[in-house]
């Protein structure tokens, strides 16, 4: 085999490997989507299901603790390029400061990445990332077994949910309408989360109640025994 022919074969093998990796990543993301969709218990304009999770600060947080406040749920994975886009641009921290700093608004970041999966970190690593990303939410919650993520049908990072003071889910979907990793797109996008919050606080109906979430697929592990028991 000539050197040129060998180079062509090697290039073809590398391209094939890249395609195989992309296919595996797509399968993994689709599997996570299907797992979430199969167990989702949420519906727009219906009461959001309660949950209790441990925060990285060592405290327990329950959704029911915040009845009487508007609540934003943000599914997060610090390794996801889509998450990095919204943090490195300053977009997510700005929203967290603006709304989470209000007396009647709570912002909860939830990580449903399973142990050994992308996005699952030790507490020390989470705290370091929070500092690096200028994170300013109310609490960072750990959902390592994926119970809450599946309950809400969380498919991507970020995947956003807005719950009103009565505990009713008013918005679910993407953070905005430009599904890219380009920081430059943030300023051109329509932000569905801020629009929903502004409308709720103005006692108006939310104009855009749902949208297709975009980002990295939530890195679920296998169903926990508790989750398996629920489906038996």
pLDDT (tens digit per residue) in 155-189: 999 999 999 999 999 999 999 999 999 999 999 99
pTM: predicted TM-score of the whole model, two decimal places: 0.81
Burial class (CB in 10 A: 0-12, 13-18, 19+), 157: buried
Model pLDDT, residue 223:
63
Q: Is 52 helix (H, G, I), strand (E, B) or coil?
A: strand
The yes-or-no verdict on residue 3 having pLDDT over 80 is: no
- If one compares 2 and 56, the residue with the highest pLDDT of the two is 56
41: helix, strand or coil: coil
Top-confidence residue, 23 or 186 = 186
Alpha carbon 41 to its chain's center: 17
Retrieve residue 230's tokens: 């629920």
Local confidence band at 199 (pLDDT 50, 70, 90 cut-offs): very high
CB of 83 closer than 8 Å to CB of 160? no
Average of per-residue pLDDT values in the chain: 85
CA separation, residue 127 to residues 55, 71, 122, 133, 181 (Å)? 11, 22, 9, 10, 24
Least confident of 29-38, 96-105, 116-125: 29-38
Q: Binning pLDDT at 50, 70 and 90, where does residue 41 land?
A: confident
Residue 2 has pLDDT above 90, yes or no: no
34, pLDDT greater than 50: no
Domains of the chain, residue spans: 40-227
Q: Could you please report the per-residue DSSP string of 187-219?
A: GGS-BHHHHHHHHHHTT---S--B----SEEP-
Q: Which fold has domain 40-227?
A: Glutaredoxin (3.40.30)
């Amino acid at each position: 085999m000539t050197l040129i022919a060998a180079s062509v074969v090697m290039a073809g093998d590398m391209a094939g490997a890249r395609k195989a990796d992309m296919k595996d990543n797509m399968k993994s993301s689709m599997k996570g989507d299907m797992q979430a969709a199969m167990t989702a218990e949420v519906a727009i304009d219906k009461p959001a299901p309660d949950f209790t999770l441990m925060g990285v600060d060592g405290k327990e947080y329950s959704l029911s603790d915040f009845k009487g406040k508007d609540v934003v749920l943000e599914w997060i994975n610090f390794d996801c390029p889509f998450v990095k886009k919204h943090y490195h641009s300053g977009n997510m921290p700005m929203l967290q400061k603006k709304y989470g700093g209000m007396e009647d608004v709570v912002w909860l970041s939830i990580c449903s990445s399973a142990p050994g999966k992308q996005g699952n970190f030790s507490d020390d690593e989470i705290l370091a990332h929070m500092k690096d990303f200028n994170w300013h939410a109310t609490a960072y919650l750990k959902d390592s077994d994926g119970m809450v993520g599946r309950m809400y049908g969380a498919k991507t990072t970020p995947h956003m949910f807005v719950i009103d003071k009565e505990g009713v889910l008013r918005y679910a979907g993407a953070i905005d309408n430009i599904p890219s990793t380009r920081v430059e797109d943030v300023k051109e996008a329509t932000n569905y989360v801020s629009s929903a919050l502004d409308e709720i606080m103005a006692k108006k109906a939310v104009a855009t109640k749902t949208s297709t979430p975009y980002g990295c697929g939530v890195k679920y592990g296998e169903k926990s025994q508790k989750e398996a028991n629920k489906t038996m």
